[in-house]
C-alpha cells in the first residue's frame, strides 16, 4: 500500500492534516530532544521526512522502513539520509545501539504491535527512550464527534483528489478508529517492557505523543 502512495505521500499529508503535520513533527523533535552525536532510530520512516529534525539537531539518525517504494522516494528527496530497509518486527540492528527510538504514524500500520515495541526495546540502550507519534482519540466529546465525521465523510473525497490510491485513506480512517486510546497504548508500552510511559495530546488528541524509557 505504501509503495503505491509514495510519490505523493508528503503532499497528501500536508493537505489532509490541514497543515497540522508540520507542527506535529516539531513536537516530536522536542519530545525526542536528540542531542548532537546521539544515535536515533526513526522507525517506519517512509520517505525520511520524519527523520530530518534529528539530522538537523546533529544526531546520527537512521531512518528505517520496509517499503522500498517509500525508501526510493526518500532517496530522491533526501540523498544525505542513510535510509535503511528493515522490518520493524525483526530489526537489522544489534542490541542496545540506539539512544532513542522514535516512530511517527507507523506503529498503527504494523500488524504485530507488541512485537515491534519489543524490538524497539531490544535495540535501545538501557536508560534510552522511545517516542511514539500516532493518531489517537480527541478527549473533548463534541470535538471527537466532529473529527469522526471528518475522518469518515470528508477525508475520503479529499483523498481521491490528491492521492494516487484513495483506498489507502479509507484504510487510514478505519485504522485510526480501531487504534487504542492514550491509556491503552501506555499499557501496551508497559507490557512490552518499557517503563514510565506518559503522553501528551496534540490538536486536542487527534494525535498523541507517548514517551517511555528502557529500564
Ligand X SMILES: C[S@@+](CC[C@H](N)C(=O)[O-])C[C@H]1O[C@@H](n2cnc3c(N)ncnc32)[C@H](O)[C@@H]1O
Annotated binding site for S-adenosyl-L-methionine: 47, 65, 87-88, 104
29 part of the interface to ligand X, by CB under 6 A: no
Angle in degrees, CA 149, 151, 152, rounded to 5: 65
- Of 49, 113, 163, 203, the residue at the interface with ligand X (CB under 6 A) is 49
Annotate 165-186 with b (16+ C-beta within 10 A) or e (fewer).
bbebbbebbeebeebeebeebb
45 part of the interface to ligand X, by CB under 6 A: yes
Which residues, 104 to 133, sit near ligand X by CB under 6 A? Answer: 104-106, 109-110
**Bridge partner residues of 211 (DSSP):** 131, 198
For 67, the 3-state DSSP assignment is coil
Nearest to 166 by CA among 155, 174, 177: 155
CB of 9 to ligand X, least distance (A): 7
66 part of the interface to ligand X, by CB under 6 A: yes
CB of 189 to ligand X, least distance (A): 18
- Of 7, 8, 57, 87, the residue at the interface with ligand X (CB under 6 A) is 87
Q: What are the residues binding ligand X (CB under 6 A)? A: 2, 44-46, 49-50, 65-67, 70, 87-89, 104-106, 109-110
Amino acid at each position: 500500500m505504501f509503495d503505491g502512495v509514495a510519490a505523493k505521500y508528503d503532499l497528501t499529508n500536508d493537505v489532509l492534516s490541514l497543515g497540522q503535520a508540520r507542527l506535529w513533527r516539531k513536537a516530536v523533535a522536542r519530545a525526542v530532544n536528540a542531542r548532537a552525536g546521539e544515535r536515533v532510530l526513526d522507525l517506519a520512516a517512509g520517505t525520511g521526512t520524519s527523520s530530518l529534525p534529528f539530522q538537523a539537531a546533529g544526531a546520527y539518525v537512521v531512518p528505517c522502513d520496509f517499503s522500498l517504494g517509500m525508501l526510493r522516494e526518500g532517496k530522491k528527496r533526501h540523498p544525505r539520509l542513510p535510509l535503511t530497509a528493515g522490518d520493524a518486527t525483526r530489526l537489522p540492528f544489534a542490541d542496545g545501539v540506539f539512544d532513542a527510538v522514535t516512530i511517527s504514524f507507523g506503529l498503527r500500520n504494523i500488524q504485530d504491535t507488541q512485537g515491534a515495541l519489543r524490538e524497539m526495546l531490544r535495540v535501545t540502550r538501557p536508560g534510552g527512550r522511545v517516542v511514539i507519534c500516532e493518531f489517537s482519540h480527541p478527549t473533548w466529546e463534541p470535538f471527537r464527534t466532529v473529527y469522526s465525521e471528518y475522518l469518515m465523510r470528508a477525508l475520503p473525497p479529499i483523498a481521491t483528489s490528491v492521492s494516487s490510491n484513495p483506498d489507502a485513506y479509507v484504510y487510514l480512517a478505519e485504522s485510526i478508529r480501531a487504534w487504542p486510546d492514550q491509556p491503552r497504548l501506555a499499557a501496551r508500552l508497559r507490557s512490552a517492557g518499557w517503563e514510565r510511559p506518559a503522553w501528551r495530546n496534540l490538536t486536542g488528541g487527534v494525535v498523541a505523543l507517548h514517551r517511555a524509557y528502557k529500564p
